[in-house]
Amino acid sequence: MMSKEKSTNRRKTTTIQISLKTKEYLDELKEKEQLSSHDTVIRIVLLSNKLFKEFF
């Protein structure tokens, strides 16, 4: 009989603390852009910031 192995491919996550003002901004951006999660919003913000720094 084969043993079942638990998947170890779970995405590692972390929790961050942000100000209420930042949370409001992320909530507005999530709703405005119709994004599925705050994780997606944060990825977009970080990518935008990186691209901005590279080109300007």
- Residue 40 is assigned to a structural domain of this protein: yes
So what's the pLDDT on residue 14?
83
- List the domain range (segments joined by +) for residue 47: 20-55
Is 1 domain-assigned?
no
User: What digits encode the pLDDT tens for the residues 1-56?
Assistant: 455 555 566 778 888 899 999 999 999 999 999 999 999 999 999 999 999 898 88
Contact between 41 and 30 under an 8 Å Cβ cutoff? The reply is: yes
Number of domains in the chain: 1
- pLDDT at residue number 29: 95
Quick check: is 9 in a domain? no
Please enumerate, as own/partner, the contacts of 36-43 that have beta carbons within 8 Å and a separation of 24 or more: none
